[in-house]
Amino acid sequence: MAKQVLVSGGAGFIGSHVTVELVQAGFDVVVADNFSNCDKTCYEGVCKILGCRPPLVEMDFCDLAAVERLFADYQIDAVIHFAAYKAVGESVAEPILYYKNNLLSFLNLLEVARRKGCNVLFSSSATVYGETDVLPVTEQSPRQPATSPYGNTKQICEDILRDSVKAYPGIKGIALRYFNPIGAHPSALIGELPRGVPNNLVPFITQTAIGKRECLSIFGNDYPTPDGTCQRDYIDIVDLARAHVCAVARMLDGKMEEPYEIYNVGTGRPISVLELVNAFEKVNGVKLNWKYAPRRPGDVTAIWADPTLANEKLGWKATRTVEETLASAWAWEKHLAGE
């Protein structure tokens, strides 16, 4: 019988891509989402890609009784937890909202998962590494104090998971630290759907290219990097989704070597903002209106992953080129525009 994976926040950007890859790898998936930060577009896209409708439960993980009902209704073998707020700036303005939502939902999920002996995969972020001179970062690189409540919720949830699997031997946990997820499914049926003005670079680029935004600001050209703009490790969303399939298989196949494992999910390849903008223009044959603007507060100069551990232990490797990824992002933006 196929193993059943619960994907909390499964209708969102990463969750929808993970749902597709899990089902295509032979898992059964239950999607749970409260649609607080997404609509049904991506869930419908998932169904179209798969040609079937994974069960969808509309619920809030802050509601413990709802989480209990969910686990009573479905035989869940493993959980991937995405359901959380994710806007850095908003978290600075609304810390209570962020701490309450992101911590309570995770605690509720863990409480029930542990009763059921169900392993948990947590979606963490490279933001936990903060600003560092030693690059690339490995999982052993020290975490820095978080610069936003959002980043702090990632660190706290990692710690909650680490302490819980230590205390409750019936469950194991994996934290995946994502670098910068970008792009869309090659079908252009699912992708990122930012609300309002995008904060992240690639949605801002595609919205500028399509004419929704007038001009892209490149934040800072005086960083100590080869071209003066920040460097990041941009990871294709489908590659990222596949890392979850590998991690879930490792948990369910009893292959974990420690009760709590952490993996960087990145390419190992730094790309500057300027390089990304140039690559986008070149691969898609579009001219982007952009200008240099002052540095954005809170941005780190450069960060990229050492993905060796994920390569070796998860048997996972990023495969798509940044050109393929930027072409998929553009195809998705055009799909949204009805082109």
- Is 4 near ligand UD1 (CB under 6 A)? no
| Candidate list 127, 155, 267, 328; residue touching ligand UD1; CB under 6 A | 127
Asked if 221 interacts with ligand UD1 (CB under 6 A), we say no
- Is 88 an interacting residue with respect to ligand UD1 (CB under 6 A)? yes
Greatest CA separation found in the chain? 56
Q: Which of 41, 132, 144, 199 binds ligand UD1 (CB under 6 A)?
A: 199
Rounded distance between C-alpha atoms, residue 215 and residue 197, angstroms: 12
Should residue 299 be labelled a site residue for ligand UD1 when binding is judged by CB under 6 A?
A: yes
Cα separation of 180 and 46, whole Å?
A: 22
Contact between 217 and ligand UD1 (CB under 6 A)? yes
Q: Is 150 a catalytic residue?
A: yes
Among 74, 99, 168, 219, binds ligand UD1 (CB under 6 A): 219
Number of residues in contact with ligand UD1, rule: CB under 6 A? 21
296 binds ligand UD1 (CB under 6 A): yes
Length of the chain: 339
Q: Nearer to ligand UD1 by C-beta: 71 or 85?
A: 85
If one asks whether residue 324 binds ligand UD1 (CB under 6 A), the answer comes out as no
Rounded distance, CA 130 to CA 14, Å?
A: 22
Using the contact rule CB under 6 A, the part of the chain among 74-82, 261-269, 296-304, 324-332 near ligand UD1 is 296-304
Q: How far is the CB of 221 from ligand UD1 (least distance, A)?
A: 9
- Tell the residue number behind the tokens 């890392």, with chain if given: 243
Residues 6+ apart with CB under 8 A from 39: 193
Which neighbouring-strand residues pair with 123? Answer: 176
Distance in angstroms (rounded) separating the CA atoms of residues 110 and 288: 45
Residue 179 Cβ vs ligand UD1, minimum distance, rounded to whole Å: 8
Q: Is 144 in the site for ligand UD1 (CB under 6 A)?
A: no
Between CA 80 and CA 54 the distance in angstroms is 15
Which residue of the set 85, 150, 223, 263 is catalytic? Answer: 150
Q: How far apart are CA 232 and CA 273, in angstroms?
A: 8
Q: Which stretch binds ligand UD1 (CB under 6 A): 168-176, 196-204, 239-247, 251-259?
A: 196-204
Q: What are φ and ψ of residue 282, in 5° steps?
A: -70, -50
Q: Using CB under 6 A, which of 125, 141, 164, 207 touches ligand UD1?
A: 125
Q: Could you tell me which residues come within 8 angstroms of residue 78 by beta carbon, excluding any fewer than 6 positions away?
A: 3, 5, 6, 118, 119, 120, 121, 248, 251, 252
Cβ pair 153, 99 in contact under 8 A:
yes
Name the phi and psi angles at 17, rounded to 5: -65, -35
Kindly list the catalytic residues. Answer: 150
Which spans of this chain sit near ligand UD1 (rule: CB under 6 A)?
88, 125, 127, 148, 151, 180-181, 199-201, 204, 216-219, 230, 232, 273, 296, 298-299
